[in-house]
Chain A
Amino acid sequence: MESSRRISIIGWAVALTAFVLLWKFGEPVAKWAFDYPKAWIIPAARWISNALKWLLNDATFGLFTFTQLTRFIAAVVDVPYRAALSLLSTGLLSGQGSSAIQLLPPLSWISVIAIVGMIGHYAGGWRLALFAAGCFLFLAIFGQWNSAMVTLASILVAAPIGVIGGLLLGLAAYRWAQFEKALMPLLDLMQTIPVFAYLVPILFLFGFGPTAAIVATVIYAMPPMTRITILALRGVPSEVQELGHMIGCTRRQMTWRVMVPSARDSLMVGVNQVIMLSLNMVIIASMIGAGGLGFDVLAALRRLDIGAGLLAGLAIVALAVALDRLSQAMALKMGDFHADTGNKSFIARYPYLFVALLVIVATAVLGLAIPAIQTYPQTMTIASGTAIGRAVEWINVNYFDTLEAIKNTMLLNVLVPFKRFLGGLPWLGVTGLLAYAGWRLGGLRLALLVAVLAFLIAATGQWEKAMITVYLCGVSVVIAALIGIPIGIVSAERKQLWRVVQAIIDTLQTLPSFVYLMPAVMLFRVGDFTAMLAVVAYAIAPAIRYTALGLQKVEPRLIEAGRAMGCTKWQLLTKIKLKLALPDIMLGINQTIMFALSMLVITALVGTRDLGQEVYIALTKADTGRGLVAGLAVAFIAIIADRLIAAGAARTKIRLGLQ
């Protein structure tokens, strides 16, 4: 044990010395190790563009072309979307466009709120009913109803597709190991390539409009569901599986009657993630024809109406929180159902359905006479967001100089030196060092993977921008961890505080960052500092969440034992709890990095010069190949970080004897 440790330290020392030597003295000898030579660049952008052109124009399955297939899928997805939209927003229409005639009105606002409240009551009692109805009432009172219903319609289609698709993929991966091997890298790419990078091909394949937005949303939101499904199925106790075999279940019964129901609790975490991530996509979806709240946010900020932007953003949060809590409660509820459907009447058997139908019909009929019942009257909305704009102005006028001083200190002492440091590193050295770390942590395979990915970033000419990306994300992740982990520690054991913190991080995760990005620009100007603030605000959520969850999971037995041995509170925390929660905290940091990388495209909007900007420029030039190459570089950075941290966490676990 001791000697292997010594060898490892010596190995690191040798590797680092070699790296520093190359970095400090290598430039005159081997210039190519610093700036990747232009002549060696792999023209991947052109290849990808050509491949896509072929896919769009010439790819065919004989009877039909690839584009026809995707258009068919789009048409299929369009059916439930139209249905949801007519129910919630437009009403039943005959004809299209401006000559359409409304045959039936949409659900009245009262009935939508009533239905939401009833689902809440069914699943979680009066508290949840009031909470969910309150969220929806907020939408009506603050004049966000129409847009919110459009957004809700697309979520109601995208989330189930994401959940079911993710579940099926997960089941397939659980059953066939080969399939899992092929699927895993694909899931990584789906989660980490910025959506902007593949937006243009999606628009060509699925047509411009809400369906394309739904497809993009599903691609982004489905991977966590698949991952969680695989994990959850693996976690089903073997006793349960044996019981299933013993009573002679067929394979299908085994899957649907035994495995999936036993894994239900974990699967619901996946459902929650799908809903949250779908709502994350609302802004981008609105850029390609989905409309709704995302469009309101963008339009409000274009005219610098910060209050209106915040209001529309909070409406997205309200929707997300209501849907999340409802789906969680439903999952708990489904566990304990009673099968006592005797000879009761329809009303007694389905009391909720009966009341819902009653409300829908009653409000629809009354709505014909009193319009306020059908649509929430505009005169009763509170549309004042001006107070927020004024608050920002007040801070701006009175505290700008203070803020500017803080910003400049941070820029000059941390950001700029770190940026210069990373920018001067030789790509060859960094690649070698990463490979060495991969080898130490996870063996030869990991070393090879990390080295190839790092080399590809350099070989496609993205190294410089990749380093700026690493710098921006790196600084943000460190700050997010420094703030987030202590908050997680403090709030883990205080129930009241944890509830407040949870509400805050849910808000941060679903509030479109655009909403706070523009006030940040007003106070800190465009540039890296503002971008960093936005990244930290978004990426802090997992740092807090996983730390708290990890600490809450620590077995009380061990804490008792520590107390019996006379540990002080501080010793309990540092020697026992934090050590045991370390794997979870590592996972939290991993997620913080992923979240930070996914904010890149947004930070491009305040003028950073990283891979996110490259993706954005490619989008504006409709250059798919260029965008995907930059997008893949982002994904590679994410995969390198993810694999190294995962390998590190696994080693720690073994060392602590947790596995």
Chain B
Amino acid sequence: MNRARRFLLGCTSALMLSVAAGSVPAFSQESTDPIKLTLHDWTGQLITTHIMGEVLKKGGYNVDYVQADYLAQFAGLETGDLDVAMEMWETTGRDAMDAATATGKVENFGPTGMKAKEEWWYPEYMKEKCPGLPNWEALKDEKCAEAFSTAETAPKGRYLGGPVTWGGFDDERVEALGLPFEVVHAGTDAALFAELESAYQRKAPIMLWIYAPHWAPSKYKGEWVEFPQYTKECYTDPAWGSNPDALYDCGKPFGEIWKVGWVGVKDKWPGAYKAIKAFTLDNDEMGQMITKVDLEGKSVDDVVAEWMGKNEARWSDWIKK
């Protein structure tokens, strides 16, 4: 009798203790090890990751940020040294992501809700020299193409594509659409924007690969070229589109931006796993936040805190049980 009573008392006090300790709704069955989120070297990703991290902290989780290379990180995600990568772009990371998920050790946590827009882009002042833009057919005009040329490519126009590793089928696109352009590949995205900055300062001609969400479309005035809209058939069936014998006679697809992570997250932190899966943002929100950081000089932490303050209803829904 006495013993049973003492046991009961023990139970209640333990229960009370755990309630007191968990002033936040802690998931007591979950690991208290830090969830390691990876940080890369562009602002948008830092914002996305910090928002996720802050939300998880509110949910009572232990969070750690690790600086990692965008592609090298998969080695860490496969072994569980790293747990979550918040932005894996369909367009630039697909190969590495597929290779990693094929091992069964990395899981795709679903889309972030943001879509990568990628296309040929030109500064606004180029419209004078090539008035038919943004319609892509204007580029077929030799004079217009020449306006985009440099000494090395003349009389053809020069198009600065992304790094070879990004794919994008621009060489094929130029061929299929019969554009008098030469494709030059930048080695990194930093080099891409260095050229844009240089040309923009001099109001010099440039046509290049720009993607969003990014600070560039808000800093520089310009437009994306409007190619025939992408469909799946365009990339798989030569008969589709204006050139009956070639693939890629259309624009680039909108790519999802995925969340990926170590496959063990689901079992180790089930609640966090749900929260990560539930996380979504949209392009406009992200574009505004990137602009605040990169062009207005605010810190990532301040911008994230501001978002957290404004969107409490949204994120508290993600960490609900």
Which A residues are within 8 Å of any B CB, using their own CB? Answer: 95-99, 199-200, 203-204, 207-209, 286-291, 295, 298-299, 301-304, 393, 396-397, 400, 404, 408, 411, 514, 517-519, 521-523, 525-527, 603-608, 613, 616-617, 619-622
The reply to whether A526 and B71 form a contact with Cβ atoms under 8 Å apart is no
The reply to whether A622 and B100 form a contact with Cβ atoms under 8 Å apart is yes
CB distance from B115 to the nearest CB of A (A): 21
The reply to whether A98 and B187 form a contact with Cβ atoms under 8 Å apart is no
Known: A303-B215, A522-B195. 18 other contacts (CB 8 A): A96-B62, A97-B64, A99-B32, A99-B62, A209-B76, A287-B72, A288-B68, A302-B190, A396-B198, A517-B191, A526-B184, A526-B186, A527-B152, A605-B191, A619-B71, A621-B99, A621-B165, A622-B95
- Give Cα distance in the complex from A613 to B191, angstroms: 15
- Give Cα distance in the complex from A97 to B31, angstroms: 13
The reply to whether B34 and A525 form a contact with Cβ atoms under 8 Å apart is no
Residues of A within 8 A of B75 (CB): 200, 203-204, 208, 622
Residues of A within 8 A of B152 (CB): 408, 411, 527
Indicate with 1 or 0, residue by residue over B44-69, a CB within 8 angstroms of chain A CB atoms: 00000000010001000011101111
**Top-4 shortest CB links A-B:** A97-B34, A208-B76, A203-B75, A287-B69
CB distance from A268 to the nearest CB of B (A): 33
The reply to whether B63 and A98 form a contact with Cβ atoms under 8 Å apart is yes
- Summed over the interface, the residue pairs from A and B with CB atoms below 8 Å come to a total of 159
The reply to whether A622 and B71 form a contact with Cβ atoms under 8 Å apart is yes
Indicate with 1 or 0, residue by residue over B75-112, a CB within 8 angstroms of chain A CB atoms: 11011011000000000000110011000000000000
Q: Does B149 contact A (CB under 8 A)?
A: no
The reply to whether B150 and A525 form a contact with Cβ atoms under 8 Å apart is yes
CB distance from A201 to the nearest CB of B (A): 8
- Chosen A-B contacts, 13 in total, with CB atoms closer than 8 Å, are A96-B33, A99-B32, A207-B81, A208-B68, A208-B82, A298-B41, A400-B204, A518-B194, A605-B188, A607-B163, A607-B164, A619-B72, A622-B74
The reply to whether A526 and B294 form a contact with Cβ atoms under 8 Å apart is no
Indicate with 1 or 0, residue by residue over B171-206, a CB within 8 angstroms of chain A CB atoms: 000000000000011111111011101100110100
The reply to whether A606 and B187 form a contact with Cβ atoms under 8 Å apart is yes
- Give Cα distance in the complex from A99 to B53, angstroms: 12
Which B residues are within 8 Å of any A CB, using their own CB? Answer: 32-36, 41-43, 53, 57, 62-64, 66-69, 71-76, 78-79, 81-82, 95-96, 99-100, 150-152, 160, 163-165, 184-191, 193-195, 197-198, 201-202, 204, 215, 294
Q: Which of B32, B33, B76, B191 contacts A606 (CB 8 A)?
A: B191
Residues of A within 8 A of B190 (CB): 301-302, 304, 514, 518, 521, 605
Residues of B within 8 A of A290 (CB): 67
- Give Cα distance in the complex from A514 to B188, angstroms: 11
- Give Cα distance in the complex from A409 to B57, angstroms: 59
- Give Cα distance in the complex from A98 to B189, angstroms: 32
Chain A residue at smallest Cβ distance from B93? A620
Residues of B within 8 A of A199 (CB): 72
CB distance from A147 to the nearest CB of B (A): 11
Q: Which of A98, A304, A607, A622 contacts B34 (CB 8 A)?
A: A98
Residues of A within 8 A of B95 (CB): 620-622
Interface centre among A291, A525, A605 (most CB of B within 10 A): A525
Residues of A within 8 A of B294 (CB): 303
Instruction: Check A97/B62 contact, CB under 8 A, given A204-B79, A525-B195.
Output: yes
- Give Cα distance in the complex from A521 to B193, angstroms: 9
The reply to whether A303 and B43 form a contact with Cβ atoms under 8 Å apart is yes
The reply to whether A396 and B72 form a contact with Cβ atoms under 8 Å apart is no
- Give Cα distance in the complex from A620 to B188, angstroms: 12
Interface centre among B160, B163, B202 (most CB of A within 10 A): B163
Instruction: Check A289/B67 contact, CB under 8 A, given A522-B198, A525-B195, A526-B195.
Output: yes
The reply to whether A295 and B67 form a contact with Cβ atoms under 8 Å apart is yes
Instruction: Check A620/B191 contact, CB under 8 A, given A207-B76, A303-B294, A404-B151.
Output: no
Q: Which of B41, B76, B201, B204 contacts A302 (CB 8 A)?
A: B41
Residues of A within 8 A of B195 (CB): 521-522, 525-526
CB distance from B253 to the nearest CB of A (A): 20
CB distance from A437 to the nearest CB of B (A): 33
The reply to whether A620 and B79 form a contact with Cβ atoms under 8 Å apart is no
- Give Cα distance in the complex from A291 to B65, angstroms: 11
- Give Cα distance in the complex from A605 to B34, angstroms: 34
- Give Cα distance in the complex from A291 to B35, angstroms: 18
Residues of A within 8 A of B204 (CB): 400
CB distance from B307 to the nearest CB of A (A): 18
Interface centre among A287, A289, A299 (most CB of B within 10 A): A289
- Give Cα distance in the complex from A131 to B148, angstroms: 52
CB distance from A150 to the nearest CB of B (A): 10
The reply to whether A98 and B64 form a contact with Cβ atoms under 8 Å apart is yes
- Give Cα distance in the complex from A289 to B95, angstroms: 22
The reply to whether A289 and B32 form a contact with Cβ atoms under 8 Å apart is no
The reply to whether A96 and B64 form a contact with Cβ atoms under 8 Å apart is yes
Chain A residue at smallest Cβ distance from B164? A617
Residues of B within 8 A of A517 (CB): 191
Instruction: Check A203/B62 contact, CB under 8 A, given A526-B160, A607-B184, A622-B100.
Output: no
Residues of A within 8 A of B151 (CB): 404, 408
The reply to whether B99 and A622 form a contact with Cβ atoms under 8 Å apart is yes
Instruction: Check A396/B81 contact, CB under 8 A, given A203-B75, A207-B76, A607-B191.
Output: no
CB distance from B270 to the nearest CB of A (A): 18
The reply to whether B198 and A288 form a contact with Cβ atoms under 8 Å apart is no
Residues of A within 8 A of B41 (CB): 295, 298-299, 302
The reply to whether B66 and A97 form a contact with Cβ atoms under 8 Å apart is no
The reply to whether B79 and A208 form a contact with Cβ atoms under 8 Å apart is yes
CB distance from A652 to the nearest CB of B (A): 39
Chain A residue at smallest Cβ distance from B82? A208
CB distance from A412 to the nearest CB of B (A): 9
Residues of B within 8 A of A607 (CB): 163-164, 184-187, 191
- Give Cα distance in the complex from A376 to B16, angstroms: 44
- Give Cα distance in the complex from A207 to B35, angstroms: 15
Residues of A within 8 A of B189 (CB): 302
Residues of A within 8 A of B69 (CB): 287-288
The reply to whether B197 and A304 form a contact with Cβ atoms under 8 Å apart is yes
The reply to whether B186 and A613 form a contact with Cβ atoms under 8 Å apart is no
The reply to whether A203 and B72 form a contact with Cβ atoms under 8 Å apart is yes
CB distance from A401 to the nearest CB of B (A): 9
The reply to whether A98 and B72 form a contact with Cβ atoms under 8 Å apart is no
Residues of B within 8 A of A204 (CB): 75, 78-79
Residues of A within 8 A of B164 (CB): 607, 613, 617
The reply to whether A522 and B187 form a contact with Cβ atoms under 8 Å apart is no
The reply to whether B191 and A98 form a contact with Cβ atoms under 8 Å apart is no
The reply to whether A302 and B42 form a contact with Cβ atoms under 8 Å apart is yes
- Give Cα distance in the complex from A301 to B204, angstroms: 22
Interface centre among A404, A522, A622 (most CB of B within 10 A): A622
Interface centre among B95, B190, B215, B294 (most CB of A within 10 A): B190
The reply to whether B194 and A304 form a contact with Cβ atoms under 8 Å apart is yes
The reply to whether A526 and B57 form a contact with Cβ atoms under 8 Å apart is no
- Give Cα distance in the complex from A304 to B184, angstroms: 20
Residues of A within 8 A of B79 (CB): 204, 207-208
CB distance from B134 to the nearest CB of A (A): 24
Instruction: Check A605/B64 contact, CB under 8 A, given A207-B76, A208-B82, A393-B201.
Output: no
- Give Cα distance in the complex from A442 to B193, angstroms: 50
CB distance from B98 to the nearest CB of A (A): 10
- Give Cα distance in the complex from A135 to B246, angstroms: 61
Residues of B within 8 A of A200 (CB): 72, 75
CB distance from A389 to the nearest CB of B (A): 9
Residues of A within 8 A of B64 (CB): 96-98
- Give Cα distance in the complex from A393 to B198, angstroms: 7
- Give Cα distance in the complex from A307 to B53, angstroms: 30
The reply to whether B184 and A527 form a contact with Cβ atoms under 8 Å apart is yes
- Give Cα distance in the complex from A587 to B78, angstroms: 44
Residues of B within 8 A of A514 (CB): 190
The reply to whether A397 and B201 form a contact with Cβ atoms under 8 Å apart is yes
The reply to whether B201 and A396 form a contact with Cβ atoms under 8 Å apart is yes
Residues of B within 8 A of A98 (CB): 34, 53, 57, 62-64
